[in-house]
Amino acid sequence: MEPALLDLLALSEADLALHLAAQGQPAFRARQLREWIYTRGQGDPAAMSNLPAGLRQRLAQADTVGTLAVVTEQHSRDGTHKRLYRLPDGPLVEAVLMPYADGRRTACISSQAGCAMGCVFCATGQMGFQRHLTATEIFEQAWRYHAELVQVGERLSNVVMMGMGEPFHNYDGAITAVRRLIDDLGIGQRHITISTVGLAPAIRRFATEGLQVTLAISLHAATDEQRSALLPVNRRWPLDELLAACRDYQAVTGRRISFEWALIAGGNDSAAEAHRLGRLLRGLSCHVNLIPLNPTARFDGAPTADADARTFVQVLAEHGVPATVRVRRGIDIDAGCGQLRDRVLADQDAEPTSSD
C-alpha cells in the first residue's frame, strides 16, 4: 500500500515551515507556498514557478492540496454551480457556488456527511448521520471555489455554512473552519453565516467566540407542537429555551440574528402563522429569511405561492419584524442540501450488475 499523501491544506503556517525545513528548504519557502495556495488559488505544484524544480517535484509526489474528490457537478441556468464530493473514506458531501448580479460570489458549504437532526423536510436530515467533517474538509469546499474564481479574476466574497449537516453539532470543526476562512481566504467576518437548527448551549458558546459572523437559526414554526413535528431537536430545546439563548447571544454580542423559515404551502404560510411568529420574535433584533420550500422525495409538501409569501412579509412588518423572501437558486438542478447525493446514489442502485 502506498503511503498517504500529506494534505498541505491541513498544515498551519508553522507546520508547513517545519515540513519544508525537514526537506532542507529555507523558511521563506513556506511563505511562497502559502501565497500560491491561498492568494493565487493554485493547488498544482508544477505551476508554482518561483519554487525550485526539485521542490515542485517532491510536492507533486508526496503531498497534495486538498483531499476531496469530485464525483459530479451541475450548473444551473441562473449560474448556480453545485458539486458533489467524495471524502477519502467514502461519504459524499455537497457544496454550492451562487453568483449574484451585484458581484457577490457565495459558497454554501457542508459541515457533516449526513445529519443527525432529522428535520423532516430536509434531504440531508432524511439520510441520517455518517460523520463530522474535519475543519480542513469544511474549509476545502470554500477554498476550491475561491481558487477557481481567482483564476478568472474574481473572488469568493461570502460563505454560508448551510449545506449538509448541523455546524453546531460539529462545533469545534465548524468554528476552526470559520477562522480559517477569515485568516487564510480573507473573507470578511460579516460575510460569513453559520446556520443552526437551534442547539441552545452552542448558541451561548458561540456568543463568546468574539466573531462578527452572522448567526442564522432554522425556525420554521412558531409553536412547540408544530416545530417538534418538523424539527425533532425542538423536543430537546423548545422555543422558550431557544429564544432565551438568542436573547443571551444578543446581550453578549449586540448582533442581529437571522431566522430561516421554509414556507410550506398550507402548512406554515398562513397570515395567522405570521402573526404568531411576529409575536414570538417581538423585541429581538432580527431578520426573517423566508424560503419557499424546496420539495424532497420523502416529504409531502409544496412551496408557498408568491402572493401568500408577500402577505407573510406584510404581517411580520406589522409586528416590527423585517422579512424578505429569498430567491431560490438552482431550481432546475438538485438544489436542496442532499438532493444531488440522493440522486447519484439512486442512479448507482439502479445500474444493472454484471449478473443482470
* pLDDT per residue rounded down to tens, the chain (356 residues): 556 789 999 999 999 999 999 999 999 999 999 999 999 999 999 999 999 999 999 999 999 999 999 999 999 888 899 999 999 999 999 999 999 999 999 999 999 999 999 988 888 878 889 999 999 999 999 999 999 999 999 999 999 999 999 999 999 999 999 999 999 999 999 999 999 999 999 999 999 999 999 999 999 999 999 999 999 999 999 999 999 999 999 999 999 999 999 998 988 999 999 999 999 999 999 999 999 887 666 676 788 889 999 999 999 999 999 999 987 666 555 555 555 655 555 555 545 444 44
| Joined grid coordinates for residue 163 | 449545506
Angle separating helix axes 171-185 and 135-151, nearest 10 degrees: 30
Return d(Cα 61, Cα 58) in angstroms, integer.
5
Tell whether 24 and 144 lie within a shared domain: no
Q: For the chain, where are the E strands, in sequence order? A: 6-7, 63-64, 69-75, 81-86, 92-99, 105-108, 112-114, 129-132, 158-161, 192-196, 214-218, 257-263, 286-292, 323-325
Domain-embedded: residue 351: no
In 3D space, the residue among 179, 208, 192, 200 whose CA is nearest the CA of residue 244 turns out to be: 200
Residue 221 inside a domain? The answer is: yes
Residues contacting 227, CB < 8 A, separation 6+: 219, 220, 221, 234, 238, 239
127's enclosing H/E stretch is helix 123-127
Task: Express each pLDDT in 21-72 by its tens digit.
Answer: 999 999 999 999 999 999 999 999 999 999 999 999 999 999 999 999 999 9
Q: Distances in Å between the alpha carbon of 114 and those of 110, 135, 145, 159?
A: 9, 16, 22, 20
Residue 250 within a domain: yes
Structural domain includes residue 355: no
Say if residue 73 is in the same domain as residue 178.
Answer: yes
Q: What is the pLDDT of residues 301-318, one digit of tens each?
A: 788 889 999 999 999 999
Q: Burial level of 319, CB count in 10 A (0-12/13-18/19+)?
A: middle
In a domain? residue 43: yes
How many domains does one find in the chain? 2
pTM listed for this prediction: 0.91
C-alpha cell at 227: 416545530
Could you give the 3-state DSSP secondary structure of residue 198? coil
Residue 207 is assigned to a structural domain of this protein: yes
Three cell numbers, residue 39: 492568494
Instruction: Identify the CATH number of the domain in which residue 283 sits.
Output: 3.20.20.70
Same domain? 155 vs 185: yes
Closest CA to 303 of 243, 312, 38: 312
Residue with cell 476531496: 68
Which residue, 64, 95, 113, sits at the end of a domain?
A: 64
Give the pLDDT of residue 2: 58
Q: Say what the pLDDT of residue 123 is.
A: 80
For 270, the domain range is 69-346
Q: Is residue 233 part of a domain?
A: yes
Kindly state whether residues 28 and 137 are assigned to the same domain: no
Strands 69-75 and 81-86: antiparallel
Catalytic residues: 94, 337
| 197 vs 117: CA distance, rounded Å | 8
Q: What is the CATH number of the domain that holds 27?
A: 1.10.150.530
Q: What is the pLDDT of residue 185?
A: 97
Q: Establish if 356 belongs to a structural domain.
A: no
Beta bridge partners of 193: 160, 214
Share of the chain above pLDDT 90, in %: 79
The CB-based long-range contact list for 268-271 (8 Å cut-off, 24+ gap) reads: 268/220, 268/221, 268/222, 268/226, 269/304, 269/308, 269/309, 269/312, 270/308, 271/311, 271/312, 271/315
* 3-state SS assignment for residue 164: coil
pLDDT in tens, 322-341: 999 987 666 555 555 555 65
Question: Does 139 share its domain with 180?
Answer: yes
| Residues 173, 144: Cα–Cα separation, whole Å | 18
